[in-house]
Every structure is written in structure tokens, then in C-alpha cells.
A and B are shown apart, each in its own frame.
Chain A
Amino acid sequence: MTTSGTTTRPATARPRETLSARGSRFLNRYSMAVALVLVVVVFALTTKGILLRDQNISNLVVQNGYILILAIGMVMVIIGGHIDLSVGSIAGFAGAAAAILMVQYQVPWWLALILSLVVGGLAGAFQGFWVAYAKVPSFIVTLAGMLIFRGLTIALIGARNIGNLPEPFVFLGAGYVSTGAESGPDLLTLAIGVLIVAGIVGWQVVSRRRRTRHGEKPGSTVVFVAGLVVVSAAILWLSYSLASFRGLPVVLIILVVLGVGYTVLMTRTVIGRHIYAVGSNRQTAQLSGVKDRRIDFFLFVNMGVLAALAGVIITARLNLATSGGGTGLELEAIAAAFVGGAAVAGGTGSIAGALVGGLTIGIINNGMSIMGLGTQWQQTVLGVVVLLFVAFDIWNKGRRTRR
């Protein structure tokens, strides 16, 4: 645009502002991906390439899978304007329950899985009741929940270490899917990678067409294509890397299914849109017929089930349940959501953002431990990273709204 003359009406000036606002929103979204790439590059260099070795890639996925599952539920809770501090305790409780059911009571592994998810759902419903219907702030309710469910976990399992879990159960957390062929990269893993790329490209093209059809000016085609190429290349490379190690981790399959499913839930269904509406402005949502209490209740039940799933996966991966399982995971999940662009005030955030945020944190952790930094420095660095990410986000938004 040319510089406006003295006769320019503010009315015609508005679109200009909006363009720059959009630009910064774009930058905001883009910056997340840039940050991830940056983190990968930095740690690939500092670890002399170990970060990107096939085995390490596979480890990264398996080690962070359960945090990412928690991050999905957590970002939804945060979008709805709440917080959940209890997920680590619920994960520990559900994991311990599953182990005890299988080892002590000889319950079949699949039933134990289902029952522990139900336990998580009930724990979530308990908290959801207090938040939604008794109107106790979620911070307090889940702080109490954190203590309650950790306490119950200790009561349940005591000082025991319950191990030797059934093989199919362990498979959930530590298993790989492959064709089992001895030589060369696993073809099944590669095929799934290609399918996912095809799916993403197809979906992006269709939704871009839809928006264009409805009169929105499409963004630059170059940027669009370049973005798709980068993402596709990354996924193909990831699947090749996994294929060259052991195949597709079961955790990754669970994660992809959940990621896609919840993204659809949040963006394309009424309940998802209502979650955003409640978090963004509760009163307006109420006056638009949104049943905000039901939304609150749902969020915590959902979080409880996902926490239980994460707990099961942790227990399965370690092939061990202890009273301390899942401790501190709530903070990692919360950090993932905020690093991934969710706002403390609610109403903003995305499943994809939380996953990228969680992955970024996971890579930083992983990279630092390969470098041989002790946990003391890992924690310190991580704290600084979370702080800087959120500060940048706030600065970026402020720049957008300031006049």
C-alpha cells in the first residue's frame, strides 16, 4: 500500500491495520514451526548428529508419547479457561490400578485397560463436578485432586513395585508395529508415512479451496506449497527413520489417532466450538445457548480418561507400577500447551500447537541429556524456555492489539 495522504479516512485505514494484524498472526503461527526447526538444528549440531539417529528418533517418540497425550487433554482444558494440576496423580493412580488388576486379580489386560480408563474418567468426573456445578475454581479442585489421587495411589500400591505385566499390555507402551522383515527399512512404516502425507496434503488443499471459494483472499501460493513440502518431507523422513529402527511405535499410532480425532473434535464439532466459546467469553457463550457447565464437566472427564491412558502407557513402557508413577507430568503437559500457543485466559490454543510445543520441550530435554547435561541444568533451561515462549507470545499479541 502507498502511504496514505492527509485526506485518508480512518475507515479506509482499517484494512491496513488488519493486514498487519494478520501478518503478525501468521508470524505467530509460523514462529512455532520456526522454533521447532531451530531447536532441532541446534541440538543436531550440539549432539554431533546423535539427536537425529534412527534409534534416538524412535526413543524421542516413545519417551514423549504419554506427555503429548496429556498435552492434548490439557490444551483443551486450558482453552476452556481452566487448568488441571491432577493429571500426574490420576495417571499414577490409573496405572497402578491397571497393574494391580492384572497381577493381583488376574484380570485380562484389555479389561484392565478399560477399567483403568473408567477409573480415570470417574476421577475426572469427580473434579468436573466441583468445577462445573459447585463453581470451585479448577486450580483449587485439581490441586486437591493432585493430593487426593496421589494419596490414593500410595494407599493402593504402598511401597510395592508391581512388575512382570502381561506381554500384550507392555506392547501398548513399548511395542512396535512392523512387517517383521529382516533387511532394509520396514515397508509398513513407510507406507503409513506416505498415507499420512497424502492425507495432510489432500486435507490442506480441500480446506484452502473451500476458503477461497467463500471469497477469502488466499495467502501466497508459494508459502502454501513450501509449507506443505516442508511438512511432508519431515513426515517422510520421520517414517523412514522409524522404519530403519524397529518400525512404528504403538504409542505413535495412538498419538496420531488421538491428535487427528481431537483436532476434528475441536474444530469441526459443536462441542469443540463451544469449548472455545466458553473459554473466550463465558457470559457471551451462555447467552448464545452454550451449556457451559456441561462443557466444563466434559473437559475434566475427558482429561481424566486421557490421563489414565497416559498412566497406562507409562506403566506399560516401564513394565512397572510404583506409587510415584506420573509424578510431575502435569507441569510438562501444561508447559507443552503454553509453549504451543495456548493463552492463560482461555479461548486460544490448538491441539497441533500443544503437540508441537510438547515435542519442542521433549527435543530440548533429549538433546540436553545426550549432551550430558545433568537434570539440574535441564530443568533450569526448560524453565527459561517456557518463560521466554510465553513472554514472546504475549509480546506478539500485544503488538497486534496495540494502536
Chain B
Amino acid sequence: MEPTDLLEMRGITKDFQGVKALDGVTIDLRRDEVLAICGENGAGKSTLMKVLSGVYPHGSFTGEIRLDGEAVEMNGIAESEDRGIVIIHQELALTSTMSIAENIYLGNEVRGRLGLIDWEETRRRAAGLLATVGLNENPSTLVAELSVGKQQLVEIAKAFSKDVRILILDEPTSALTDEESEHLLGLIAELKQRGIASIIISHKLNEIERIADRVTVIRDGAVVETLPKAEITQARIIRGMVGRDINHLFPERVEKSVGDEVLRVQAWSVQDAADPSRRRVRDAHLVARAGEIVGICGLMGAGRTELALSVFGRSYGSGFSGDVFVDGVKRDVSTVSKAIAAGIAYVTEDRKTLGLHLDDDVVQNIALPSLPRLRRRGFVDEDAEIGAANAFKESMRIKTPSIFAPVGQLSGGNQQKVVLSRWIFTDPRVLILDEPTRGIDVGAKFEIYTIIQELAASGKSVVFISSELPELLGMCDRIVAMHEGEITGELPIDQATPEKLMELMTLERTSDDD
């Protein structure tokens, strides 16, 4: 081992009731480097980071952690932070009702005379930290008012307030737009110049390819390999992660005929839910045909989710105007149940809080929107719902010990299959899928893609919202771009390129201003 190593974790083994989550994992982090840790969901990445950040205290695992060559024992996050190890979780841990400055110094308050909090100094220092991370916001702004991307930067600013030496980022860009991701990746590179090493856990291999100096691949709780900079390519990482080559990220396109128009959204405008003077979607026109997969791309705040949610029973926004047609017939979609009845299904981007009842079993989750239809003589037909759940378990290959197991116990990919089953079971004409592969590992993604292709092939119309352009380019027949609530253009798949789409996604279409 070289003396220049900043951090070394040696022979880390952690088991849960006899099941080994980590088995003799050894990694090292050099000074001034960005180390990526890759692996499928359940490979042990998060467990490893919890060991490193003291969430699992010394003694609850075997092996040792050496910092600057010295063995350290950490019991709890506070102790790891004292040593300059700061973890930023996928789920941001900010208090939304507090200001940026309050959040940055929460638990680490700036004390003045008499031990009282010195707000003047707190705000001054916070402003300095915000400048460091390139966030142009007032420190007194409430966190609730910030986009997820900006909140992420606040988290990093918070890490700085603690003299961070090792920054651990768990899926830092999964909720960010390309633009925000770009900024974050730039920031990480900049931190490296300033001597702060980072460990990144991410499913976005293209980003890892760009930013990582080395990649450690973990599979089944053990280190498979560590790749030097020269060997870092997406295909190479994937091979390590799944233990085989994956030649195709997307299923082969099948020959299919695009049929009649199924969904038509016409002159659709929506105002902000909280602030009705702000327009979120402006005069949108959208058409989706039978058998067609229509992509919607756009940066964060472009209004994609707002468009989808508002069409789906006015689930977002206020001051709606415009019409929705399904199969050429104008339909009332003013409530979710009416939208479902009209043949529209919406699969949320926020699976855990909006998509599933995590404590309920697979059967209940799949049946919920279809319960009114499953009613026979006033009672829910249990045979029908259990039968359907079994059928979906087979056809979607949902890996669950039982259809009576709570869905919270399933992996992300399998949870997503449950959500898809739930909506396919409502027998919709059109499915609006909002970031359907977010937080899902490579193998499961491919399965989800296959399911989507099959849905289209069976004559359903699919609207595919995604922040990842390669995914849209790999899956869609046509891609529509949005920018600040407006549809700025569309391209058939044979003409679509990332550059052209990016241009549309940032296109200012100056129209009547409010």
C-alpha cells in the first residue's frame, strides 16, 4: 500500500442475520481522485458507504478502516463527519421549511455571545459556501423553494461547512436535469483540484466514464475489479457489474405498425398549483398514436411532469384550459377516476411516495385503481385480483417471495414492475410513463424497456417522459421537446440526435408574456 492513500477499507465483511451483504471488501481512495463504485442494486454499495460513514458502528462489521494510514473506529455519523467524511444520500436530508443558511448550519450552529446563534454570521458564511458551490441563491431562501438540483448543491455546501475531506455522493444526479448534472460533475472535478476526494455511486455510467479516475466494481457483496482510468468504458463497467457482456442497452426495435390517433391533448395550459399567476404548461399540443412510443424530453422545470399530471385528472396545477381526446372523442379528465375511465394511465416518476403503498402486498398494489371494476355484487372479487397478481408476477417476471409480500421488500426494478402491472391492469389506451427507469439497475432497465416495447406492440399508445436522452433515442418513435412549459418542437426518431434535441430543449419561443 502506498503511503499516499487517503482512505483504505480493508477486508470489510458485514452480515445481516447470517446473510453476507459485504464479503471481504477492500477499497482504497487516493488523495485528489474521484473513485466510482459501481454495482447492481443489492450489490452492497450502500452498505459499504454506511460502514464508511459510521451508520454501522465499529464492531458491527469486521475488517478495518484506515484514514491517512491509521486505523480509525467510528460510531455514528457525527464521528465520521468529524474526520471529514461526509455522505450525501440519494434522498436529500434537508429540512424544507428552513432556509438554506439554517440547513447548512443545522446541528453545527454558529454561536455568538452568550451561546446564542449568530444569524448575521451564519448568513454571511452560508453565502460564501454557496458561492463556492456555484449556487446563486439568497441564503435566506427556503429550501422548499429550490429545485432538487439546487438542493443537492446546498447539501454539498453543507458538507463544506464541516471541512470535508472525503465526499461520498450516492446517486447524486438521479433526480437532476442534464444541465444540473453537468454543473455538479464540474463541481466534483473542481473539488478534486482543491484536494477533496470523492466517492461516487451512480447508475449513470456515461457520467462515471467522464468523471471517475478509477472504478471499483462490486458484485454480490465482493469487489470484482478496480478499473484504472484507461479502462473505464461503459461496456467494460457493465461487464463487471453483471458478470457478462451486455451488447444491447435497449431491446431490438420490432416491426410494428403505428395506428390511429389515441391521445390528443389540445391547447392545454396549466397554472402553477401554489402560485396561479405562474404558467406551468402553455398551449401544449400532443398526439400519441396506437403502437407508438412518444418521448418527451426537457430540462428540469420544463413542465413535462406537470403536463402529464394535469392531463391525468388534474393531479397538478390550477386554472386548467384545453381539451383531451381519447380515440377521437373528447373526454372529461377532471378527476383521476375519470381519466382512468377515459383510458389514461400515469406511472409516476416518484415510485416510493406517489406510486406504491409500500406496506401493502403485491395484490393490493396492483388492484387498487381497478377495484371499482373488480366489484361484483358490491364486493371486491378476491379471486380476480389475486389471479391478476399471479398472472402479472409471471408475465412481468416480478421477483417476489409471494404476491402477498409487502412491495417495500422488493428491489427497485421489481417495484417498478408492480407499478407498471397496476396500470396495465386498468387496461388503458395510453400509458404515460414518467421516468420509468429511475433508480433501477441495468438488467432491470432492459426488462422494463422490453415491457414498454411489448405494450406498444400490443397496440397501446405510450408517452415516455425521461431526462436521459439516450433512453429516449433508444426507445421512442418520435420525441417531443419541452422548454419552460411549452412544446418547442418534435423530431421523428430517424432525425433525432442529442444535439438537435438539446437545442429544442433550450429554445426560447417568445410568445405573449403574461
Any A CB within 8 A of the CB of B283: no
Most B CB contacts (10 A, CB to CB) among A280, A284, A403 go to: A284
Using a CB-CB cutoff of 8 Å, which residues 1-16 of chain A contact chain B?
3-4, 6-11, 13-16
Any B CB within 8 A of the CB of A375: no
CB-defined contacts of A288 to chain B, threshold 8 Å: 336, 368-369, 422
Interface string of B205-234 (1 = CB under 8 A from A): 000000000000000110000000000000
Given A210-B382, A273-B371, A287-B346, do A280 and B357 touch, yes or no (CB 8 Å)?
yes
Using a CB-CB cutoff of 8 Å, which residues 4-29 of chain B contact chain A?
16-21, 23
CB-based contact A214/B220 at 8 Å: no
CA distance A107 to B18 in the complex (A): 71
CB-defined contacts of B18 to chain A, threshold 8 Å: 3-4, 16
Any B CB within 8 A of the CB of A348: yes
Any A CB within 8 A of the CB of B409: yes
Given A10-B221, A214-B386, do A348 and B359 touch, yes or no (CB 8 Å)?
yes
Interface string of B388-416 (1 = CB under 8 A from A): 00100000000101111110110100000
Given A13-B19, A215-B390, A284-B357, do A270 and B44 touch, yes or no (CB 8 Å)?
no
CB-defined contacts of A285 to chain B, threshold 8 Å: 357, 368
Any A CB within 8 A of the CB of B375: yes
CB-defined contacts of B340 to chain A, threshold 8 Å: 289
Most A CB contacts (10 A, CB to CB) among B18, B19, B315, B358 go to: B19
CB-based contact B369/A289 at 8 Å: yes
* CB-contact partner of A11 in B42, B339, B378, B382, under 8 A: B42
CB-based contact A16/B19 at 8 Å: yes
* CB-contact partner of A270 in B312, B353, B360, B380, under 8 A: B380
CB-based contact A8/B354 at 8 Å: no
CB-based contact B359/A287 at 8 Å: no
CB-based contact A216/B401 at 8 Å: no
Any A CB within 8 A of the CB of B319: no
Given A4-B18, A11-B399, A18-B405, do A289 and B336 touch, yes or no (CB 8 Å)?
yes
Shortest Cβ gap from A81 to chain B (Å): 13
Q: Summarize A's interface: helix, strand, loop or mixed.
A: helix
Total residues of chain A contacting the partner, CB 8 A = 47
Q: Which residue of B lies closest to A7 (CB)?
A: B220
* CB-contact partner of A284 in B220, B353, B380, under 8 A: B353
CA distance A284 to B403 in the complex (A): 20
Any A CB within 8 A of the CB of B2: no
CB-based contact B401/A18 at 8 Å: yes
Q: Which residue of B lies closest to A348 (CB)?
A: B359
Q: Which residue of B lies closest to A10 (CB)?
A: B42
Interface string of A11-31 (1 = CB under 8 A from B): 101111111111000000000
CB-based contact B369/A20 at 8 Å: no
Given A8-B20, A273-B380, do A286 and B315 touch, yes or no (CB 8 Å)?
yes
CA distance A289 to B378 in the complex (A): 18
Given A216-B402, A289-B337, do A280 and B315 touch, yes or no (CB 8 Å)?
no
CB-defined contacts of B382 to chain A, threshold 8 Å: 210, 268
CB-based contact A286/B221 at 8 Å: no
CB-defined contacts of B42 to chain A, threshold 8 Å: 9-11
CB-defined contacts of B369 to chain A, threshold 8 Å: 288-289
Any B CB within 8 A of the CB of A269: yes
CB-based contact B405/A287 at 8 Å: no
* CB-contact partner of B357 in A13, A210, A214, A281, under 8 A: A281
Any A CB within 8 A of the CB of B313: yes
Any B CB within 8 A of the CB of A274: yes
Any A CB within 8 A of the CB of B147: no
CB-based contact B20/A287 at 8 Å: no
Given A273-B368, A288-B336, do A217 and B402 touch, yes or no (CB 8 Å)?
yes
Any A CB within 8 A of the CB of B76: no
Using a CB-CB cutoff of 8 Å, which residues 301-327 of chain B contact chain A?
312-313, 315
CA distance A3 to B15 in the complex (A): 12
Q: Which residue of B lies closest to A273 (CB)?
A: B371
Any A CB within 8 A of the CB of B335: yes
CB-defined contacts of B387 to chain A, threshold 8 Å: 214
CA distance A281 to B357 in the complex (A): 6
Using a CB-CB cutoff of 8 Å, which residues 327-361 of chain A contact chain B?
347-348
* CB-contact partner of B335 in A17, A277, A291, under 8 A: A291
CB-based contact B220/A9 at 8 Å: yes
CB-based contact B348/A280 at 8 Å: no
CB-based contact B20/A291 at 8 Å: no
CB-defined contacts of B186 to chain A, threshold 8 Å: none
Given A14-B401, A16-B19, do A283 and B353 touch, yes or no (CB 8 Å)?
yes
CB-defined contacts of A273 to chain B, threshold 8 Å: 364, 367-368, 371, 380
CB-based contact A269/B378 at 8 Å: yes
CA distance A359 to B508 in the complex (A): 68
Any A CB within 8 A of the CB of B130: no
CB-based contact A10/B354 at 8 Å: no
CA distance A87 to B369 in the complex (A): 32
Any A CB within 8 A of the CB of B372: yes
Interface string of A256-293 (1 = CB under 8 A from B): 00000000100011100110110011011111111100
CA distance A269 to B336 in the complex (A): 20
Q: Which residue of A lies closest to B221 (CB)?
A: A10
CB-based contact B380/A268 at 8 Å: yes
CB-based contact B337/A269 at 8 Å: no
Interface string of A177-192 (1 = CB under 8 A from B): 0000000000000000
CA distance A284 to B360 in the complex (A): 12
CB-defined contacts of A19 to chain B, threshold 8 Å: 401
CB-based contact A276/B336 at 8 Å: no
Any A CB within 8 A of the CB of B296: no
CB-defined contacts of B44 to chain A, threshold 8 Å: 10
Q: Which residue of B lies closest to A11 (CB)?
A: B42
Q: Which residue of A lies closest to B356 (CB)?
A: A284
CA distance A6 to B219 in the complex (A): 12
Any A CB within 8 A of the CB of B355: yes
Any A CB within 8 A of the CB of B255: no
CB-defined contacts of A211 to chain B, threshold 8 Å: 386, 404
CB-based contact A15/B401 at 8 Å: yes
CB-based contact B405/A286 at 8 Å: no
Any A CB within 8 A of the CB of B513: no
Q: Which residue of A lies closest to B313 (CB)?
A: A289
CA distance A281 to B358 in the complex (A): 9
Q: Which residue of A lies closest to B56 (CB)?
A: A403
Q: List 15 A-B contacts (CB under 8 A).
A: A8-B220, A9-B42, A11-B411, A16-B17, A19-B401, A20-B17, A210-B386, A214-B386, A270-B380, A277-B357, A277-B368, A287-B312, A287-B336, A289-B339, A401-B408
Given A268-B380, A276-B360, 13 extra CB contacts under 8 A: A4-B19, A10-B19, A16-B17, A268-B382, A269-B378, A270-B371, A273-B371, A274-B371, A284-B357, A287-B336, A290-B368, A348-B359, A403-B16
